[in-house]
Chain A
Amino acid sequence: MGGATLLKETGPREVFCGLTSIVWLHRRMPDAFFLVVGSRTCAHLLQSAAGVMIFAEPRFGTAILEERDLAGLADAHEEVKRVVHDLLKRRPEIRTLFLVGSCPSEVIKIDLARVAEHLNQELKDHVRVLNYSGSGIETTFTQGEDGALKALAPLMPESEIDQLLLVGTLSNSVEDRLVSLFNRLGIKNVASFPPRQSEDLPSIGTGTRVLLTQPYLTETARVLKDRGAHILKAPFPMGVEGSELWMKAAAQSFNIPPSLFESVLNPLISRSKKALEKYKEKLGGKKLFLLPESQLEIPLARFLHRECGMEIIEVGTPYLNREMMQPELDLLPDKTLVMEGQHVEKQLDRVRDKKPDLVVCGMGLANPLEAEGISTKWSIELVFSPIHGIDQAADLAELFSRPLHRHNLLNQKLLTHA
């Protein structure tokens, strides 16, 4: 076990930048606002990736840099402050404001930390202003959440209490379910970070045991560790097996008797395994290729192989944190090809060469691959959907079996009409 073959590749990439994570972060904390300091490209990216223009006024926006900001005619720092004051006048309900750095703001070296500090002094306690970078030159897709949580972490109050802290954005329903399961195991103090309201921050200290719900929170985990928390090592809570091991790490840390653990979880596990049977039939033996995008690729590959019987061709990942991913890598079959980084053209050559039954990829690549007759699953859907926990395992499998099912459905019809 643990014999995954780790390779690296560089070249043109087809990956979202960290700004994209605003798309789900703003929904998690409705009292927060994300103000990108960037270009028209940043604004256009958010609106294209979000597809949520039904909102009259979303809880994110872009302060678009103009010629005069670049030419130094306007003090960029003063300009950001002016935009923030205008925004807060219009949106008095905002409690936490994230100033989000972008590629252009990083390149021209706008010091958002300093701007945030000034604003915090000016605004006193009305609004808390934080900053992080979501720029493409430094972050990919889900790393944006890591940046936002890292910025939020210093505001968490200090406390020694024994508690379990779930870190990473979860859908509310999944969060409630996981918390109630931990309660049933006898772990009473369970908090979540990020919270549902930006001001309801959980405490942190030496009594805090952290379970990461998402595989992309490297920096956040480091900050929480520095504040005394213990980061539990486990695979991520995708699929029955991953979720069980993930909960077990907490149970062991809280000295929950194994018999209690089993009596609470075994019925759920057998129920979910039964539900998975149907998908195992559909997915078993099918070839899977994951292109790098969300960092969820490795846990998903592990789930789809071990619990659904899929054959893994290649697992792409934008970057690889060996330490954090080790429990996942240990579960992958021998010689699984894990490719860190990307050369999108060469990778697509390999896709065509290996003829997988299903490719997990970004929205830019999905239709072109479909047009070549290759079924796809959008990776962005996976960061929006409730996929965590034992009870969600069959739903997760369904997301991957649907494209295959549809593929069969349509092709058969075409054949009969031909």
Chain B
Amino acid sequence: MELTLWTYEGPPHIGAMRIASSMKEVHYVLHAPQGDTYADLLFTMIERRGKRPPVTYTTFQARDLGGDTAELVKGHIKEAVERFQPTALLVGESCTAELIQDQPGSLAEGMGLGIPVVSLELPAYSKKENWGASETFYQLIRGLLKNQTPENIQKDPEDWKHQKRRPRVNLLGPSLLGFRCRDDVLEVQKLLTEQGIDINAVAPLEASPADLMRLPKADANICLYPEVAESTCLWLERNFGMPFTRNVPIGIGATHDFLSEIHEILGMPTYNPKDERNKSRLNWYSQSVDSNYLTDKRVFIFGDGTHALSAARIAKEELGFEVVGLGTYSREMARQVRGMAKELGLEALITNNYLEVEEAIEATAPELVLGTQMERHSAKRLGIPCAVISTPMHVQDVPARYSPQMGWEGANVIFDSWVHPLMMGLEEHLIGMFRHDFEFVDGHQSHLGHLGGVQSENETSQKQRAINCTQDTSSEEVPIWTAEGEAELSKIPFFVRGKVRIKTEKYARQAGCRKIDSETLYDAKAHFNS
């Protein structure tokens, strides 16, 4: 048993719902008790969907358990197929139904429905949402395509040359409740079209079962979100000989790598990054003198595997930040995240527990947090600017405007959405300075620090945390701040105060100081400047 307050991922059947709801002409019969229908609101509220998810819940009750729940399931399946007329049916169970073992999938298969039925087994007590999405996508495609697998799988990704047509690819992985998938699809389509590459199919977003049936017509697959699509891409590679991309085009460097990789896979002329220079403004914005301010900003990154990895690379290589923390809740991608963290001289934080993430943020005292909605809340409490880069997300993370993360425009969006919270902090400081109002400056944090929160509570808890922080950062003997030292520290603008505090303590420990006063502070400053 694991105590959980807030969770990063839902149960695996929510992942299955994401696939079903993303698609057309698919229906999902979910053997589940009353109450599990809450999941509809994720789609209708967070994604603001104007359609109900195509899900029929059997909503069994205690009194049904004494009777024949199998008949109940069959009744719901029959009714759902008649009413919604899907061209493919998913059948599965939620956590409670898994315990009753009615085998709804086998029941459905035995009903002679005349449409493909895919039975989903998603172990609710060991797996989670993204795994469920990935498994459902894979099972659905396998179910639809397994009779088509060629005997000779020597597919040639350069077929397009012989057939005298443009190369074509599938975009696999975008789904509802994924991060900015709607806009990423458009951006990647644009990106590929400019290279003379056509899109054969996009799935699961807006795809019908017929679209899935024609996936093998493409020369290669683009794995946009490995969390959802990698197992499917691997199966298509094994059974249809379709190669797929490993680079996810988030950020300038990754987008170049992605284009280079797809050129190579398809046997196109070697990709020349120079041809694509200045397609995004991120490079120039980051290089412009205004961005000097961004230099070595300490940033803490946590999210799903794909977005955390991408963010770390952008932060370091494209914005000149210092990555002081990196982690993910996607255990499936722990290995890559650990690898990236090691390159950055860090130890990756792989956890489901948002409290551990909050502690890590507090201990590293970053100037910017890039995370999920959980980290936004944690950062708010700690008074640190934050941008959301990954699910889980709130309704405000599904903006009305076009705001992809991928490709050239995605890089623009990322520059704006990461830098703004930092600049707002600076701006507030400048306003305060010109007001010559010391008390105002000191008590007044970035508005990002207490959006929607309770201001007074935030401030007291922040002070409290600051005290804890000095005592917790190291197991070694911790130097103590004198009142005079604290007073000197408080004169330093709040947005660098955390960094100065940590560096001073580090210096004090190195120098063997037990107490930190204003002189220690200046010593530390001189030490790190030299």
* A binding-site residues for B, Cβ under 8 Å: 11-20, 37, 39-41, 43-45, 47-49, 53-54, 56-58, 60-67, 69-70, 74, 76, 79-80, 82-83, 86-87, 103-104, 106-108, 135-138, 140, 345, 362-368, 370-372
Contact at A135–B2, with CB atoms within 8 Å? Answer: no
Closest-by-CB residue of A relative to B57 is: A12
Closest-by-CB residue of A relative to B34 is: A136
Closest-by-CB residue of A relative to B94 is: A41
Contact at B95–A366, with CB atoms within 8 Å? Answer: no
Q: In this assembly, does B42 line the interface, its C-beta being within 8 Å of a C-beta of chain A? A: yes
Q: Which residues of A contact B4 (CB under 8 A)?
A: 40, 43, 61-64
Closest-by-CB residue of A relative to B13 is: A41
Instruction: Give the distance in Å from the alpha carbon of A87 to the alpha carbon of B38 in the complex.
Output: 27
Q: In this assembly, does B123 line the interface, its C-beta being within 8 Å of a C-beta of chain A? A: yes
Interface string of B65-106 (1 = CB under 8 A from A): 100000000001001000100000000001110011000000
Contact at A12–B50, with CB atoms within 8 Å? Answer: no
10 A-B pairs whose Cβ atoms sit less than 8 Å apart in the complex: A12-B76, A15-B35, A19-B35, A48-B42, A56-B377, A66-B2, A70-B99, A106-B62, A136-B34, A364-B52
Number of A-B contacts (CB under 8 A): 193
Q: How far in angstroms is the closest Cβ of chain B from A331?
A: 29
Known contacts A39-B125, A367-B44; A54 and B380 CB within 8 A of each other: yes
Closest-by-CB residue of B relative to A133 is: B62
Q: Which residues of B contact A61 (CB under 8 A)?
A: 3-5
Interface residue from B39, B56, B95 paired with A40 (Cβ < 8 Å): B95
Closest-by-CB residue of B relative to A370 is: B50
Q: How far in angstroms is the closest Cβ of chain A from B303?
A: 16
Known contacts A40-B11, A64-B2, A368-B52; A363 and B45 CB within 8 A of each other: yes
Known contacts A41-B36, A67-B125, A366-B44; A107 and B96 CB within 8 A of each other: yes
Instruction: Give the distance in Å from the alpha carbon of A49 to the alpha carbon of B45 in the complex.
Output: 11
Contact at B50–A367, with CB atoms within 8 Å? Answer: yes
Q: In this assembly, does B333 line the interface, its C-beta being within 8 Å of a C-beta of chain A? A: no
Q: Which residues of B contact A362 (CB under 8 A)?
A: 37, 41
Q: How far in angstroms is the closest Cβ of chain A from B49?
A: 6
Closest-by-CB residue of B relative to A45 is: B38
Q: How far in angstroms is the closest Cβ of chain A from B130?
A: 12
Instruction: Give the distance in Å from the alpha carbon of A17 to the alpha carbon of B96 in the complex.
Output: 13
Q: Which residues of B contact A106 (CB under 8 A)?
A: 62
Instruction: Give the distance in Å from the alpha carbon of A14 to the alpha carbon of B36 in the complex.
Output: 9
Listed residue (B36, B58, B126) with the most chain A CB atoms within 10 angstroms of its CB: B36
Instruction: Give the distance in Å from the alpha carbon of A194 to the alpha carbon of B19 in the complex.
Output: 43
Interface residue from A60, A136, A371 paired with B51 (Cβ < 8 Å): A371
Known contacts A70-B99, A107-B100, A371-B51; A364 and B10 CB within 8 A of each other: no
Q: In this assembly, does B414 line the interface, its C-beta being within 8 Å of a C-beta of chain A? A: no
Instruction: Give the distance in Å from the alpha carbon of A371 to the alpha carbon of B44 in the complex.
Output: 10
Known contacts A40-B7, A58-B5; A364 and B35 CB within 8 A of each other: no
Q: In this assembly, does B277 line the interface, its C-beta being within 8 Å of a C-beta of chain A? A: no
Closest-by-CB residue of A relative to B49 is: A367
Q: How far in angstroms is the closest Cβ of chain B from A388?
A: 26
Contact at A12–B56, with CB atoms within 8 Å? Answer: yes
Q: How far in angstroms is the closest Cβ of chain A from B356?
A: 13
Instruction: Give the distance in Å from the alpha carbon of A283 to the alpha carbon of B7 in the complex.
Output: 42
Contact at A65–B1, with CB atoms within 8 Å? Answer: yes
Contact at B7–A364, with CB atoms within 8 Å? Answer: no
Q: How far in angstroms is the closest Cβ of chain A from B357?
A: 12
Contact at A44–B7, with CB atoms within 8 Å? Answer: yes
Closest-by-CB residue of A relative to B3 is: A83
Q: How far in angstroms is the closest Cβ of chain B from A98?
A: 15
Given A136-B36, A138-B62, 13 more A-B residue pairs with CB atoms under 8 Å apart are A17-B35, A40-B95, A40-B124, A41-B13, A44-B11, A57-B5, A58-B5, A64-B1, A107-B100, A136-B34, A362-B41, A364-B52, A367-B48
Interface residue from B37, B83, B123 paired with A67 (Cβ < 8 Å): B123
Instruction: Give the distance in Å from the alpha carbon of A372 to the alpha carbon of B48 in the complex.
Output: 14
Closest-by-CB residue of B relative to A371 is: B50
Instruction: Give the distance in Å from the alpha carbon of A13 to the alpha carbon of B59 in the complex.
Output: 6
Contact at A12–B1, with CB atoms within 8 Å? Answer: no
Contact at A82–B5, with CB atoms within 8 Å? Answer: no
Interface residue from A53, A57, A67, A135 paired with B374 (Cβ < 8 Å): A53
Q: In this assembly, does B478 line the interface, its C-beta being within 8 Å of a C-beta of chain A? A: no
Instruction: Give the distance in Å from the alpha carbon of A12 to the alpha carbon of B126 in the complex.
Output: 27
Instruction: Give the distance in Å from the alpha carbon of A69 to the alpha carbon of B3 in the complex.
Output: 13
Contact at B51–A137, with CB atoms within 8 Å? Answer: no
Query: Which residues in chain B, 368-390, are within 8 Å of chain A measured between CB atoms?
Result: 373-374, 377-378, 380-381
Contact at A107–B38, with CB atoms within 8 Å? Answer: no
Q: How far in angstroms is the closest Cβ of chain A from B442?
A: 24
Instruction: Give the distance in Å from the alpha carbon of A138 to the alpha carbon of B453 in the complex.
Output: 36
Closest-by-CB residue of A relative to B96 is: A103
Instruction: Give the distance in Å from the alpha carbon of A107 to the alpha carbon of B3 in the complex.
Output: 20
Known contacts A70-B125, A364-B37; A137 and B96 CB within 8 A of each other: yes
Q: In this assembly, does B490 line the interface, its C-beta being within 8 Å of a C-beta of chain A? A: no
Instruction: Give the distance in Å from the alpha carbon of A363 to the alpha carbon of B124 in the complex.
Output: 25
